[in-house]
Amino acid sequence: MNINSTVISGFQALNDLSYLLQSKDKALLVTDKNIEGIPAVQSLIAQLKQQISSLSIVNSVPPEPSQHDVAAIVAALPSTDVDLVIGVGGGSVLDVAKLLSILCVDGAPTLDALLAGEKPLTRTTSLLIPTTAGTGSEATPNAILAIPEKETKVGIITPVMLPDYVALVPELTTSMPPHIASSTGIDALCHLIECFTATVSNPVSDNYALIGMKKLFASLETTIAEPGNLEARLNMLWASYYGGASIAHAGTHLVHAMSYPLGGKYHLPHGVANAILLAPCMRFVRPAAVSKFAQAYDLLPDADASLDEEAKSHALVEYFAALVKRLKLPASLEELGIGPDHLPYLVDAALDVQRLMKNVPMKVSADDVRNVYLTLFPALNH
């Protein structure tokens, strides 16, 4: 799979999009109400209105959208006749924008058909602008939707959704509250380390993952400590983009498979679910990925070069656990009100995510999954 998007990046990169908007008459801007109020987004809207004769704005994308939310958005569109779809927001907004870029084409498969696996052939021109540095949705062929009836999430996956244009603009991420910057940053880290260690990893995805991790390790905590640090924020946007590019060429595995039920049934934010699972899952897969873990450890700003590979692999897992703690993200399910009586459901639902489970670099049994979840109930471990 190739990523053929044109990426523009840097401070005020949105100030002149006229060259992208030439010959576009009807645009659809997809966002949410909070993002719509950011000054840089307001100036983008003003610029679009100046240059495009018809601009529709959808600002009702919820945080973890279901297929019903997307169906309602499509039904409410004044017209699906658009020649540009622009997504501005976090992963959920970008996923919905990607779906709309397909659904706004004459003769396109319906949303139900896409969910059933039908592959679209084309989409309208799209520009994706992330406002969180986490999901990397702007670089993935995936759109993730909640399926409330089944209490899980599914991915619609097709390279057709990869956008024409991506804009990585650091000032758009400065309004993220610290807990969102932390959880979305950990989501990006999960994409990078999981793709790097997946059975389907390859030289292309490895290259993206290594570049992304180096940027993330150097910048994530700086963005929390110094919210106005635009260089660190741009580095995080690129780390997130490289995480998405890694997914496009490889795939995530255990953390994401085990976090899907936490999002689907208990509505935990995706980044928070991943943060809780990051260290326990990586502790489990470490023996199968010692050399890769050591390579990742070497990217830490204060890596100890004198350690051998085995020691480095252990040190990386401990770094993950300490990082989640420093970012003040939850480390157990108990503190989120999910008790051990939910274990049987969680184990079955995680094993059901075969698309990702097959990427784990070792065999995983129901007992293994149960044991990893068990570590998230500290009261049982005393």
Compute the average pLDDT of residues 195-217: 98
Report the pLDDT value the prediction gives residue 378, as an integer from 0 to 100.
Answer: 87
Give the whole-angstrom CA distance, residue 142 versus residue 129. Answer: 16
Report the pLDDT value the prediction gives residue 102, as an integer from 0 to 100.
Answer: 97
CB-CB neighbours of 273 under 10 Å: 28
Give the whole-angstrom CA distance, residue 44 versus residue 67. Answer: 28
Say what the pTM is.
0.95
Interval 88-147: pLDDT, tens: 999 999 999 999 999 999 999 999 999 999 999 999 999 999 999 999 999 999 999 988
Per-residue pLDDT at 86 exceeds 70: yes
Report the pLDDT value the prediction gives residue 382, as an integer from 0 to 100.
Answer: 61
DSSP lists the bridge partners of residue 165 as 6, 127
| Dihedral sign (CA 159, 160, 161, 162) | positive
| Cα dihedral 216/217/219/223 (nearest 10) | 90
Task: Answer whether 295's CB lies under 8 Å from 370's CB.
Answer: no
Give the whole-angstrom CA distance, residue 272 versus residue 179. Answer: 9
Could you identify the residue written with the tokens 């309004």? 175
Report the pLDDT value the prediction gives residue 154, as an integer from 0 to 100.
Answer: 85
Per-residue pLDDT at 234 exceeds 70: yes
Share of the chain above pLDDT 90, in %: 87
Per-residue pLDDT at 2 exceeds 70: no
Interval 245-265: pLDDT, tens: 999 999 999 999 999 999 888
Report the pLDDT value the prediction gives residue 156, as an integer from 0 to 100.
Answer: 94
Amino acid letter for position 187: D
Q: What is the CA radius of gyration of the chain?
A: 20
Rounded to the nearest 5°, which phi and psi values hold at 265? Answer: -95, -40
Residues 6+ positions from 19 with CB-CB distance below 8 Å: none
Helix, coil or strand: residue 335:
helix
Report the pLDDT value the prediction gives residue 19, as an integer from 0 to 100.
Answer: 86
Compute the average pLDDT of residues 166-194: 96
Interval 282-308: pLDDT, tens: 999 999 999 999 999 999 999 999 999
Compute the average pLDDT of residues 200-209: 98
Please name the helix (run of DSSP H) or strand (run of DSSP E) that holds residue 8, with its range, or none: strand 6-9
Give the whole-angstrom CA distance, residue 186 versus residue 169. Answer: 20
Give the whole-angstrom CA distance, residue 169 versus residue 211. Answer: 19
Give the whole-angstrom CA distance, residue 252 versus residue 216. Answer: 17
Compute the average pLDDT of residues 67-78: 94
Closest CA to 237 of 303, 323, 174: 174
Rounded to the nearest 5°, which phi and psi values hold at 130? Answer: -70, 140
Give the whole-angstrom CA distance, residue 373 versus residue 363. Answer: 17
**Band of pLDDT at residue 21, cut at 50, 70 and 90:** confident
Report the pLDDT value the prediction gives residue 194, as an integer from 0 to 100.
Answer: 98
Q: What angle do CA 376, 380, 382 make, to 5 degrees?
A: 110
Give the whole-angstrom CA distance, residue 145 versus residue 257. Answer: 14
| Average pLDDT of the residues of the chain | 94
Report the pLDDT value the prediction gives residue 265, as an integer from 0 to 100.
Answer: 87
Assigned token pair, 368:
């293994």
Which stretches of the chain are DSSP H helices?
18-21, 33-36, 39-51, 67-76, 91-103, 111-115, 178-197, 203-225, 230-249, 254-264, 270-285, 290-297, 309-326, 343-351, 354-357, 366-374
